[in-house]
């Protein structure tokens, strides 16, 4: 049987030049290295400066992923950019800027808005394009400049986030698969949303509901409404619950036990969230890949950056069973089941 399965063939990452440690941050925010480490596991993050932008990071990560995949940029049929912090609020899409930066005029391009779950949604989107025969190679990018929307006066949130980009080339694999041999690549996904939690993670002003004009900005009663606001405890409880549900559901569909799962690649928001999920699921913590200590929470970029770092560290091996799981604003969540 010949199938059009979708396989990740290349990974790339890009970080801003400026590295900011917890100690650096405590120079301008009332916080401490001790608090940030003990409550989140984060030690450093990278923040844009100068001419760095969401699209410039995305293009750099994409070039690295294309090189890693060993394909020509012109082979890309579709660019999917998962981001909540595009260069421009409405249009052009950041995906169009990536397309222009890579010089691939024949490709389609669009942004995907699913907050921190964006990359998991993006992989499933790529798989669908490939399965349907619309494209042979899809570029999925998670890129964020969260420093542009965090409230630097709110220590509850600003210490958590960072900027960065990760990219994956998803390609068709027309390998012949015998009935006894397991198919490799992206197998299936679970995409979910809990819209009842829409206000738990929100930037209130600046959209069409509260447009920002020179007049309206004067009338904003709470300056925090201009920035990212989060009910941390609510998001924490949601995160632990949906990580467990998503992993359990994906394992059940795959027909595998906890012991057969090689890696879980979770959205990197907070070390304690992952610890709690590991305990609740009864899956050892060392099977959850974590790099939140180095970059903070880069929203849609965390999962591709994690996959990239795993690849660099030679942790990804053929036939491994891997689950990705994302969660965040929306409240969206979801995950992918991959046989590497």
User: Which residues have a catalytic role annotated?
Assistant: 116, 267, 297
Task: Show contacts with ligand UT7 in window 70-129 (CB under 6 A).
Answer: 116
Is residue 269 within the footprint of ligand UT7 (CB under 6 A)? yes
Interface with ligand UT7 (CB under 6 A), residue from 12, 164, 328, 335: 328
- Contacting residues for 185 by C-beta, under 8 A, at least 6 apart: 5, 6, 7, 8, 173, 338, 339
Least gap, CB of 60 to ligand UT7 (angstroms): 23
Size of the site for ligand UT7 (CB under 6 A): 20
Least gap, CB of 184 to ligand UT7 (angstroms): 30
Contact string 182-201 vs ligand UT7 (x = CB under 6 A) = --------------------
DSSP string, 143-168: EEEGGGTS-TT-HHHHTTB-EEEEEE
- Contacting residues for 207 by C-beta, under 8 A, at least 6 apart: none
- CA–CA gap between residue 118 and residue 326 (Å, rounded): 8
DSSP string, 183-215: PPEEEEEEEEE-GGGGGGEEE-SSSSSS---HH
Among residues 33 and 183, whose Cβ is nearest to ligand UT7? 33
The separation between the first and the last C-alpha atoms of the chain, rounded to the nearest angstrom, is 20
Is residue 266 within the footprint of ligand UT7 (CB under 6 A)? no
Is residue 159 within the footprint of ligand UT7 (CB under 6 A)? yes
Least gap, CB of 159 to ligand UT7 (angstroms): 4
Interface with ligand UT7 (CB under 6 A), residue from 40, 56, 84, 171: 40
Q: Provide the binding-site residues for ligand UT7, judged by CB under 6 A.
A: 31, 35-36, 39-40, 116, 155-156, 159, 230, 232-233, 235-236, 239, 269-270, 273, 297, 328
């Amino acid at each position: 049987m010949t199938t059009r399965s979708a396989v990740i063939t290349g990974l790339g990452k890009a970080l801003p030049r400026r590295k900011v440690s917890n100690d650096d941050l405590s120079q301008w925010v009332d916080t401490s290295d001790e608090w940030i480490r003990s409550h989140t596991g984060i030690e450093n993050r990278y923040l844009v400066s100068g001419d760095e932008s969401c699209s410039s990071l995305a293009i750099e990560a994409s070039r690295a992923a294309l090189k890693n995949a060993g394909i020509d940029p012109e082979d890309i049929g579709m660019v999917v950019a998962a981001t909540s912090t595009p260069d421009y609020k409405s249009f052009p899409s950041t995906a169009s800027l990536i397309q222009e930066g890579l010089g691939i005029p024949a490709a389609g391009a669009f942004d995907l808005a699913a907050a921190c779950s964006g990359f998991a949604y993006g992989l499933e989107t790529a798989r669908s394009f490939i399965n349907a025969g619309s494209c042979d190679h899809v570029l999925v990018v998670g890129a964020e400049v969260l420093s542009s929307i965090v409230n630097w006066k709110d220590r509850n949130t600003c210490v958590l986030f960072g900027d960065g980009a990760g990219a994956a080339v998803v390609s068709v694999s027309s390998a012949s698969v015998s009935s006894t041999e397991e198919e490799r690549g992206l197998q299936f996904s679970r995409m979910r949303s809990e819209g009842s939690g829409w206000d738990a993670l929100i930037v209130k002003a600046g959209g069409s509901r509260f447009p920002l004009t020179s007049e309206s900005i004067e009338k904003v009663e709470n300056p925090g409404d201009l920035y990212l606001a989060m009910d941390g405890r609510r998001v924490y409880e949601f995160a632990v619950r949906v990580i467990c549900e998503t992993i359990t559901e994906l394992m059940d569909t795959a027909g595998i036990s906890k012991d057969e799962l090689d890696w879980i690649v979770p959205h990197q928001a907070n070390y304690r969230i992952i610890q709690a999920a590991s305990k609740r699921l009864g899956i050892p913590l060392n099977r959850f890949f974590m790099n939140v200590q180095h970059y903070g929470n880069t929203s849609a970029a965390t999962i591709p950056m994690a996959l990239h770092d795993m690849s660099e560290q030679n942790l990804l091996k053929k036939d491994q069973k891997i689950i990705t799981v994302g969660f965040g604003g929306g409240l969206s969540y979801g995950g992918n089941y991959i046989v590497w």
